[in-house]
Structure 1
Amino acid sequence: METNLAATTAARKERLIALRKRKEAVDAGTSDGQTHFALKQRNYDPETRGFRKRETGEEGEDTVEKAVEGLAEQIIKEDEEKRNEELDLFNIQPKRANWDLKRDMNNRMGKLERKTNEAIATIFRQRLQAMRKNEDPNAQVDLVAGIAAAEHERDERAISEDNRIESLMGKGAIKQALQQRLIEKLKDWNN
């Protein structure tokens, strides 16, 4: 315990000696790389020994008030401009009576399209396998030609269906054709 006490007293003496040396160096004007801080008197005037009033020409520090000085006026101005603009009738127009039906049908149609694409891919694979069986075993299957043939067949079906719809151009015929097409897809989907 005495060694611990002796060590702490020795450390304290060394600190006091270092402080004395530093104080003597400051008084003498020679410092060991440390600078003396001068007081900056912002509100006190040493000549009049009173408070110094801030002059109007002096620029103070940046404050929040200065940062948001024109913000309120700008917001009011933008709000007035928005009020003066014409109303967009498309934004306030009521929705049609069947908008919810269309929304629900889009989900079902997405499922139908996915299943249709899967069925087309299955048919394409079956045709490729049939082509491989019919050809001699040494010949290679031309995949690009098979894909082109499938696309051509799909395009022909779409054109023939468009022609059928155009031929039915009577009153409500397009609507009936689309309904019939939708019913067929729903039947396929339910099966």
Structure 2
Amino acid sequence: MEPVVGALQEQALKRKERLKALRSRQLQGNVPEDGEPDRKRVLEEEEGVEERHRELRLRNYTPEDEELKERQVPKAKPASVEEKVKEQLDAATPKPVIEEVDLVNLAPRKPDWDLKRDVAKKLEKLEKRTQKAIAELIRERLKGSEEELAGAVGAVKEGEGDSD
């Protein structure tokens, strides 16, 4: 804490010295009545008084003097708010997206579509086995029908031989 107190005391002493110097200058008459330091006053004198004042522009005042009428700024016309509002409303309204959307993709899928997808491979194997089983059954029936045909043909031949 002592360094902080020491720094504050130093600052206080510097302020006192500056105030004493200011008082002594005032007593000697070096400082003008307006309280501006000499440096600032010298800079203003170098720049000149003309640059110090800005050009007078009259926006809300209508002067009667011809010389002042030249400095009057022309009346500004307010911008059309209606056009800006229309542009904002047009930008805010959503444009139809029907052109981009494919109706086939929007159609809801059947509830069991994922089951069919997962079972498709197993169904292919079963389909092959089923076709083989059907082919075997047909062959067995054909063998059975051949035997019946052979028996029928044999019976017909026997019947023909009896009539001779």
Q: Which structure is higher in RCO with an 8 Å CA cutoff and minimum separation 6?
A: 1
| Fold similarity call, TM over 0.5 | no
TM-score of the superposed pair, with normalisation by structure 2? 0.30
Q: TM-score, normalised on structure 1?
A: 0.26
